[in-house]
Structure 1
Amino acid sequence: MAEENSNALSTHIDMKKLWELLSIVVVTVIIWNLPTSTFGIDGLTVVQQRIIAIFVFATLSWLTECIPAWATSLSIMTIMCVTVSKNAFGVFKHDGVGDLLDSKEIMASFADPIIMLFLAGFILAIAASKSGLDTLLARNLIKPFGKKSENVLLGFLLITGLFSMFISNTATAALMLTFLTPVFAALPATGKGRIALTLSIPVAANLGGMGTPIGTPPNLIALKYLNDPAGLNMNIDFFHWMAFMTPLVIILLIISWRIILHFFPFTQKTIHLKIDGEVHRGWRMWVVIITFIITILLWVIPKDVTGIDTNTVSMLPMGIFAITGVITAKDLQEINWSVIWMVAGGFAIGLGMNGSGLADAAIESIPFGNWSPIAILAISGLICYFLSNFISNTATAALLVPILAVVCRGMGDKLGGIGGTSTILIGIAIAASTAMCLPISTPPNAIAYSTGLVKQNEMLKVGLTCGLISLILGYLLLYFIGQIHFIG
């Protein structure tokens, strides 16, 4: 009976997703075929209208998740190649459709330099896990925090946050929750200490990702548009990002520590830690350690000194680990390719908006210059925060950042009062990372919830409080550094 009920539920969900997909296709086809005058954009071409329809398809698909997020991105790139590129089917290339895109550039979205930076983060994480470097670091980094329960909680927050700056927040959460298993055995089952420690992992993993450009996909998406030579060309490097975001992350983790303790105080004052895990001694461990150090140093040292940019540095660990055998072909299967496809799809949308001339046409037709910079900042941040609590923060950033890059360019110097374009786009990255109210909000939240130690209302209480405080402080920091022209 239970199996029959499960099958019935699965069928119901499948049918629901099918109807959602069919509805989205119908809406997309309608927008695709509307008269161009409907959109109120002077001189709108057929190609630009198709880009609008593809954008609507992407938005609705990501919102409803009727198909996987990576499948949405792959379909975006496929539809663009066959309908709005110079190599599209002949039926889509008649005279007067407007400027067609280069199919090579659409496909190159998957090999964007930012994607290479993202891949480097995955490769470093796999190497750290295979060699046991992650276990070695966790074991030694937690020691200075002693045995006092409150300090151990702070230790897990800071270490998880540190790991999440360089390793996938999902992998970090899974790893750190594994380390907590023996700790739970030493805590009373009826106390709130287990809840506090469990919640500390997703909170720290989500916030920690803000600390470096490779910490989370929204950072990379924002950075791409900020540094695009053909666009904003702001030259924000790894060091600049860490210089203002890493201190923010540390402050937010300490605040989160006090918030978690306020809601879930420990009844047992001391905890005896024992972090188990295999550490592989030998020359490959030293290859991993040295490569980690060199890579991070080259990321942090300004390009003016080394002559090599952040994206090119990302190739070093991949090449070294491949040559030395630290990473094998089988290990490449562990890379979260679905997330990379999702990011690439967002880049393809941005390319379509700019390459087709849609961005310029929108700027000329919509009076962005009359809009209040404060209103744009607040509304964009709140929309991103809201959406990221329900859909992937990567998908949210991929949808919003290209649009806001257009808006910011249209407003020109009028954004100076809030710190410039960087405040808006980096603000999206912050808003996406602070959205952690629900188990579905982020993979770390889902992993923590799956332990059965945390209830949804408990996660909502901590996630909402920590998230909103982090969002406000993050935007205040961006405003301040914008005023002193530290970036941009």
Structure 2
Amino acid sequence: MAGVLEVILAFRKYLIIITVIVLPLALPLAVPTKEARCGYVIIVMAVFWCTEAVPLAVTALLPVLLFPLMNIMDANTVCREYLKNTNMLFVGGLLVAIAIENWHLHRRMALRVLLVTGVRPALLLMGFMVVTAFLSMWISNTATTAMMVPIAQAVLEQLRKSELESTGAGEVQEGSTPEGKGNAHVVAIEDDKKGNEDLEEKHLKLCKGMSLCICYAASIGGIATLTGTGPNLVLQGQVEELYPNNGGVITFVSWFSFAFPTMIVLLVLAWLWLQILFLGFNFKENFGCTASAAEKNKEKEAYAVIQEESRKLGRMKFAEIAVLSLFILLVVLWFTRDPGFTTGWATNLFNKKKKYVTDGTVAMFVAILLFLIPSGFSNAQTDGKSKFQAPPPLLDWKTVHHKMPWSIVFLLGGGFALAKGSEKSGLSAWLGTKLTPLQNVPQSAIAFLVCLLVATFTECTSNVATTTLFLPIVASMAEAICLNPLYVMLPCTLSASLAFMLPVATPPNAIVFSYGQLRVIDMAKAGFVLNILGVLTITLSINTWTSSFLQLQIFPTWANKTGSCP
């Protein structure tokens, strides 16, 4: 029996693949319609994405095979979905992020902020969360976490070392001898031992809080910008795909206007919750207001570690200044292209009627400059002969090939193909008619339930895959009950980033968990409350400033495909 179980476990992925391909075939065989065939493809892809029996990117390629074979869409139409403007925006943004990471500019920014915040427990947590969230807005949350955790570990190690040196563990005061004072001597040793245990426990809690604050801030920071994380781009692509006449409702500026305040609120709540959970309710002590001379000395030594790390970087090189300048240029061009409250430069300079220039165009412009601008003025070689070489550009293709997560490009494309197939087959319309009873449910309750469902689902599935699966469904539901599709699509997208409970939920969680200070129960306990806080924050955002800014209370004409809604 044990041998059979071992074989099943060894071949479980192949068994899942065969089962998932064969069993759902009953649906298109029993109901020979386009809707049923498209439903079969979605079921297969959903299970593959959840179980990862097949790599995520390979699963995303299934529409290229199955849609033409099942007469849902022709191959040319399917393939065009895999490289749209949204994909180019993602690639352009990542190229800039890779350049920042390649020249260690993100590390310099992180250390500069930490030098400002200091190393008092509460401020230390806040400093790491602010830096991590800011960096995660522009570069991948995985790279941000991988860079921030070693810095945090170095600071924590110095704090622990200073604590041990200041306690004088196991030392006996002068003049105290076992003769006549045996009991007192034993009590002193036991007190020292208990004091050391308390210090170790306190330090371990700080380590846990620090680790979690980094991975959580990396996930939270990504929701603030359109290019910050994959689900945001999935939403933009799905809106463009499902509602081609939307008039560019989702741009970098419009997204930032509602998502950045949401991120700030959630980040503050996460900071307060982690502080309460791991540092306790003594806020005066957490902020160092009652610190003793020994504790202040310990903080100075830990602060010196950050100063030393910053000193090692030296002065900013030309390449760092150039990359920073291009990064600032990119952000400025994104914000001013189509700000909404006035005419942007793209409309004034290029075309007053059609929006030819998009955020993807801007990202590619800056990304291409990285390959054209040299990283310095000279690259002299001194090997016995006078030799002069031209310096390399700020970014080379070898570095890009090594660091670019190409699988996400296919994953985004697969999502767009899936949405297009659902629309072409009529599955979206059919699903919408089945969801009409939801019009009797309060809109705020619908948004809350969508947030809760997606936040739960994303704990065990890729956030991009989660968004890809749910967005067409909630969009169809919104159309059926004459609700602004963005009212449910936005919370669905934001909630996909609330993967806080499990180490496998997202790469940042796995990175901090690999350092061995956390247990699964620690992450689950902290993440459960943070998930609830995240769902409540997103629901609040959708029903207040986001609703006002994007006019979510009005059913837009671009979503009224059938003309059945007023």
Deviation at 1:65? Answer: 1.7
Asked whether the equivalents of residues 137 and 221 of structure 2 are also in contact (C-alpha less than 8 Å), the reply is yes
Query: Deviation of residue 453 (structure 1)?
Result: 1.3
Letter in 1 for 2:365: L
Question: Residue 33 of structure 1: CA displacement?
Answer: 1.5
Q: Hey, what does 1:311 align to over in structure 2?
A: 360
Query: What 5-or-longer segments of structure 1 have no aligned partner?
Result: 37-45, 85-99
From the superposition, tell whether residues 131 and 428 of structure 1 become closer, same or farther in structure 2 (CA, over 3 Å): same
Tell me which residue corresponds to 1:24: 20
Other-structure match for 1:327 = 395
Aligned counterpart, 1:339:
408
**TM (normalized to structure 1)?**
0.86
Matches of 1:162 and 1:250, distance apart in 2: 10
Alignment of 1:348 with 2:412, yes or no, is no
8 Å Cα contact 1:481-1:487 kept in structure 2:
no
Q: Is the 8 A contact 2:209 2:274 kept in 1?
A: yes
Q: Distance in 1 between matches of 2:54 and 2:274?
A: 36
Task: Work out whether 1:207 is the aligned partner of 2:217.
Answer: no
**Matched position secondary structure for 2:477:** helix
- Which of 53, 77, 83 is 2:40 aligned to? 53
Contact preservation (8 Å) 1:55, 1:349: yes
Q: CA deviation at 1:242?
A: 1.2
SS of the aligned residue for 1:264 comes to: helix
Amino acid at match of 1:226: V
Distance 1:212 1:385, change over 3 A: same
Following TM superposition, by how much is the alpha carbon of 1:427 offset from its aligned partner in structure 2, in angstroms?
A: 0.1
- String of CA shifts for 1:194-246, please: whole Å, max 9, x gaps: 11111111110011111111111111112223344526555122112112221
Per the alignment, residue 467 of structure 1 pairs with 531
CA contact (8 A) 1:135 1:279 kept: no
Q: Which amino acid aligns with 1:242?
A: F
Task: Quote the offset at 1:82 in angstroms.
Answer: 3.9
Q: Distance in 1 between matches of 2:5 and 2:522?
A: 27
The structure-2 alpha-carbon separation of the partners of 1:454 and 1:9, relative to structure 1 and needing over 3 Å to count, comes to: farther
Q: Distance in 1 between matches of 2:212 and 2:115?
A: 21
Q: Which one-letter code corresponds to 2:406 in the other structure? A: W
Task: Assess, with a 3 A threshold, how the Cα gap between structure 1 residues 387 and 260 changes in structure 2: closer, same or farther.
Answer: same
- Percent identity between matched residues is 24
Cα distance change on mapping 1:120 and 1:279 into 2, 3 Å: farther
- Give the C-alpha shift of residue 279 in structure 1: 6.8
- Structure 2 partner of 1:125: 97
Corresponding position: 1:481 with 2:535: no
In structure 2, distance between residues paired with 1:153 and 1:306: 40
The aligned residue for residue 470 of structure 2 is: 400
Matched, 1:223 2:236: yes
Matching residue's letter, 1:181: Q
Whole-Å Cα distance in 1 between the matches of residues 7 and 101 of structure 2? Answer: 38
Contact 1:131 1:284 in 2 (8 A): yes
Residue among 187, 198, 212 paired with 2:211: 198
> Match of 1:140, as an amino acid?
R
Task: Compute the displacement of 1:437 (Å).
Answer: 0.5
Q: Does 1:260 align with 2:274?
A: yes
What's the offset of the Cα at 1:291? 1.1
1:109 and 1:344 in contact (8 A); partners too:
yes
For 1:143 and 1:405, how far apart are their aligned partners in 2?
Answer: 46
In structure 2, the residue matched to 1:88 is none
Which of these residues, 376, 381, 385, is aligned with residue 451 of structure 2?
381
Name which of structure 1's ranges 373-382 and 425-434 shifts more when overlaid on structure 2: 373-382
SS in 1 for 2:344: helix
The amino acid of 2:364's aligned partner reads M
Q: Paired residue for 1:147?
A: 119
| TM-score after normalising by structure 2 | 0.75
AA in 1 matched with 2:103: S
- Matched to 2:370, the amino acid is F
Is residue 108 from structure 1 mapped to residue 98 from structure 2 by the alignment? no
Alpha-carbon distance between aligned partners in 1 of 2:245 and 2:431, rounded to the nearest angstrom: 16
2:178 is aligned to: none
Structure 1 position 13, deviation (Å): 4.2
Which residue type is aligned with residue 438 of structure 1? L
**Structure 1 residue 260 displacement after superposition:** 0.9
Number of the residue aligned with 1:89: none
Contact 2:93–2:367, Cα closer than 8 Å, also in 1: no
Superposition pairs of residues 172-183 of structure 1, within 5 angstroms: 172-183=144-155
CA–CA distance in structure 2, aligned partners of residues 279 and 150 of structure 1 = 29
Q: Which residue of 1 aligns with 2:497?
A: 433
For residue 50 of structure 1, report the CA deviation from its aligned partner.
1.6
Distance 1:146 1:281, change over 3 A: closer
Of the three residues 456, 459, 482, the one matched with 2:520 is: 456
Cα deviation, 1:323-382, whole Å, max 9, x if unaligned, reads 333222212221111222222211110010112333234435653564523453233222
Offset of residue 146 of structure 1 = 2.1
2:454·2:492 contact (CA, 8 Å) conserved in 1?
Answer: yes
CA contact 2:225–2:259 (8 Å) conserved in 1: yes
Equivalent pair of 2:67/2:74 in contact (CA under 8 Å): no
CA distance in 1, matches of 2:438, 2:262: 31
Rounded to whole Å, the distance in 2 between the matches of 1:281 and 1:257 is 31
- Cα distance in 2 for partners of 1:371, 1:51 equals 29
Matching residue within 114, 132, 138 for 1:166: 138
Q: Report the AA paired with residue 283 of structure 1.
A: F
The one-letter code sitting in structure 2 at the alignment partner of 1:317 is V
Q: CA, structure 1 residues 145+282, in 2 after alignment: closer, same or farther (shift >3 Å)?
A: closer
Q: Which moved more, 1:347-356 or 1:283-292?
A: 283-292
User: Is contact 2:97-2:139 (8 Å) kept?
Assistant: yes
Residue 500 of structure 2 aligns to a residue whose secondary structure is: coil
CA distance, structure 2, for counterparts of residue 435 and residue 340 of structure 1: 21
CA distance in 2, matches of 1:482, 1:337: 32
Q: Is the 8 A contact 2:86 2:360 kept in 1?
A: yes
Amino acid at match of 1:311: G
Give the distance between the partners of 1:280 and 1:19, measured in 2 at CA: 57
Q: How far is 1:422 from its partner?
A: 1.7
Residue 320 of structure 1 deviates from its aligned partner by 1.1
C-alpha distance in 1 between matches for 2:27 and 2:332: 49
SS in 2 for 1:181: helix
| Number of aligned positions between the proteins | 453
Aligned partners of 1:131 and 1:279 also within 8 Å: no
The Cα of 1:248 is off from its aligned counterpart by 2.0
- In structure 2, relative to structure 1, the CA distance for the partners of 1:11 and 1:280 (3 Å cut) is farther
Q: Is the 8 A contact 2:89 2:363 kept in 1?
A: yes
Which residue in the other structure is 1:62 paired with? 49
Cα distance in 1, alignment partners of residues 551 and 89 from structure 2: 21
| Preserved CA contact (<8 Å) 1:58 1:76 | no
Which protein is bigger by CA-based radius of gyration? 2
Distance of aligned partners of 1:280 and 1:63 in 2 relative to their CA distance in 1, 3 Å threshold: farther
Kept in 1, the 8 Å contact 2:448–2:535? The answer is no
- SS, match of residue 252 in structure 1: helix
Structure 2 residue aligned with 1:291: 326
Alignment partner, residue 255 of structure 2: 241
**Comparing 330-339 and 259-268, the one that deviates more:** 259-268
